[in-house]
Amino acid sequence: MNEISMTVNGETVSHTVEARTLLVTYIRDHLKLTGTHIGCDTSQCGACVINFNGKAVKSCTMLAVQADGAEITTIEGIAAGDQLHPVQAAFKEHHGLQCGFCTPGMIIAAVDMINRYGNTLDEATIRSELEGNICRCTGYQNIVKSIKAAADEMTGSSMSDQSSTSSAS
């Protein structure tokens, strides 16, 4: 058994786990944070994507012990109280989900890609960046639309705005 400790959604957590425990199992079964989903057994679907030390990774393809000392953010940790994260709000607004199973992974992946690309994130990039997240309901159209809208809002550029955003302070 291994003693592990990490920061999850801003809180320090410590547990004793078997070395073979997957990080996703730790998050769901030990921490009871069941927003992170397990959609496959083959590391392909992306429903388990979390933010690990600032990067989106598949929590089903990592051991919990590997995350000892890490900073983790799951879907439960991105809203500010009752205030949805802009990406969550955009998924709601643009109907970026149907059954919702893939949504936690989609949203964490979306936040990660917006962080990396900022206002250069265009539709083609969003589509190629969604390579690791599978959705079987939406056909991706509204997911792409949601991410684009969130990126525009978060980076202060708007595709529908005719006037360029003011940078005056």
The b/e string for 142-162 (b: 16+ C-beta within 10 A; e otherwise) is bbbbbbbbbbbebeeeeeeee
CA 74 to CA 95: how far, in whole Å? 21
- Binding to another protein (CB under 8 A) within 49-108 occurs at 49, 52, 55-58, 60-63, 65-66, 68
Our CB check for another protein shows the closer of 42 and 169 to be 42
Q: Count of residues binding another protein (CB under 8 A)?
A: 30
- Under the binding rule (CB under 8 A), the answer on residue 115 touching another protein is no
The stretches of 36-102 forming alpha helices (DSSP H) are: 86-93
CB 28 within 8 A of CB 36: yes
| Span of 7-15, 77-85, 129-137, 142-150 interacting with another protein by CB under 8 A | 129-137
Q: Could you list the residues that contact another protein (CB under 8 A)?
A: 2, 18-20, 22, 41-44, 46, 49, 52, 55-58, 60-63, 65-66, 68, 109, 112-113, 129, 131-133
